[in-house]
Amino acid sequence: MKYISPHIIRQVFVLLLIVLMGGLIFQEMLPYLSGVLGAITVYVVLRKPMENLVAKGWNASLAAFFLMFLSFACIMVPIVGLGFMMGSKVQYAVDNSQKVIDATKEQLGRVETYFDFDMSSKIDTSAISSWLSENLQNFAGGTFNMLLSITIMYFLLFFMLTNRKQLKASLFEYIPIKDGNLKAIGKETNEKVRANALGIPLVALGQGLVSLIGFLIFGIEDPFFWAAIVTVGSMIPFVGSPLGTIPVFLLELSNGNTFQAWGILIYGIGVVGATDNFLRLFVLKKLDNVHPLITLIGVIIGVPLFGFIGLIFGPLLVSLFLIVLRIYKNEYGQADEKL
């Protein structure tokens, strides 16, 4: 009769303890995961500027506070402001969605008359409005947790910036991965984080600003709200800026503002679309280009988890998951291939 080695039993027991305790910690930290991801994201962006300031003779704590203030003013204020604006406009969005649906049915009715078929009667306006109302409230509800997540983020970020060497040493000490693989994965993580934290939001904000100019030129009602919709749509692959321009086109057309309707549609396709191509060419090409499917899956996962800010942290979470899979392959997959 063969007995299990006591060494294996002890190893399995320790692994079970690690999994159970790690799972418990993760479960309790899940509501604040956006703060942790935010700290990692901003740390990657600020690490080199922090090293430069310290090398010039700055006090570490003073340099950290200075960079944190800059990041808050330049990154967090626009993102959080956009999130709170979207939250405050939930009812307005629901009301406009009703108008957009009615306008769509009206335009479909004209097409149906020409082609002699019936489609608009099958569109349940009340059901669509109820679904949008529920999901928009859930989407905006996450914005009220932003303050807590941002507090946790900057608390962690301060200690990460002021203890960079200790942080690096701890990673090499506690993560059970070979040093060579850990360095390679660290470099890839830097690239993915920079792409998700800088590339996607920059392209979206650029499109939002360009669309705002168009909405102001053509005298669209509440242009800032629709520019925010364009910004959000720009972060979602296969959706893009038409999320804001198409509803405006339909609303203006149903209101009899034919010039404004076609003007904003042409502006959206031509100018806003060209801005998207231009920004992606000159911004994302300098960073690591994130695959659209990763971004789409990240948005689907991130928004229910984190609310509005999940548009950024969702794709980041998926990218980090894929990196973990690559870690496993580098550590164990190649050894199995040799067998």
Q: What is the 3-state secondary structure (H, E, C) of 183-202?
A: HHHHHHHHHHHHHHHHHHHH
CB atoms within 10 A of CB 242: 17
DSSP 289: P
Tell the residue number behind the tokens 């306006």, with chain if given: 125
Q: What distance in Å separates the CA atoms of residue 105 and residue 255, rounded to the nearest whole number?
A: 14
pLDDT score recorded for residue 173: 72
In a domain, 74, yes or no: yes
Q: Which of 35-44, 123-132, 280-289, 314-323 has the lowest mean pLDDT?
A: 123-132
Phi, psi values for residue 243, rounded to 5°: -60, -30
- For 7, the token pair is 């060494």
Percent over 90 (pLDDT), the chain: 1
Report the range out of 48-62, 251-265, 298-312 with the highest average pLDDT: 48-62
| 8-30 confidence digits (pLDDT tens) | 888 888 888 888 988 888 887 77
- pLDDT the model gives residue 193: 75
pLDDT at 127: 57
> What is the model's pLDDT at position 135?
56
Alpha-carbon distance of 330 to 301, in angstroms, equals 26
Domain contains 116 = yes
By the 8 A CB rule, do 196 and 315 touch?
yes
Asked whether residue 63 carries a pLDDT value surpassing 80, the answer given is: yes
Which residue matches tokens 């031509």? 270
For range 221-249, the mean pLDDT: 81
Q: Which residues contact 45 (CB under 8 A, 6 or more apart)?
A: 71, 193, 194, 197, 198
CA max distance for the chain: 88
The pLDDT of residue 339 is 46
User: What is the number of residues in the chain?
Assistant: 339
Q: When comparing pLDDT for 71 and 127, which is higher?
A: 71
Let me know if residue 18 belongs to a domain.
Answer: no
Predicted pLDDT of residue 100: 60
**Helix, strand or coil, per DSSP, at residue 288:** coil
In a domain, 136, yes or no: yes
Residue 91 confidence (pLDDT): 56
Could you list the residue range(s) of the whole structural domain that residue 308 is in?
33-338
* Amino acid (one-letter) located at 200: I
Domain count of the chain?
Answer: 1
Whether 11 is in a domain gets the answer: no
Residue 23 belongs to some domain of the structure: no
Q: Which long-range contacts (CB under 8 A, 24 or more apart) does 278-283 make?
A: 279/202, 279/203, 279/206, 279/207, 280/203, 283/198, 283/199, 283/202, 283/203, 283/206
The H-assigned helical ranges of 89-145 are 90-115, 125-141
Q: pLDDT digit string (tens) for 124-165?
A: 555 555 555 555 555 555 555 667 777 888 888 898 888 888
- pLDDT tens-digit readout, 88-117: 555 555 555 666 666 666 656 665 565 556
8 in any annotated domain: no
Q: pLDDT tens-digit profile of 165-217? A: 887 777 777 777 777 767 777 777 777 777 777 777 778 888 888 988 999 99
Q: Is residue 242 part of a domain?
A: yes
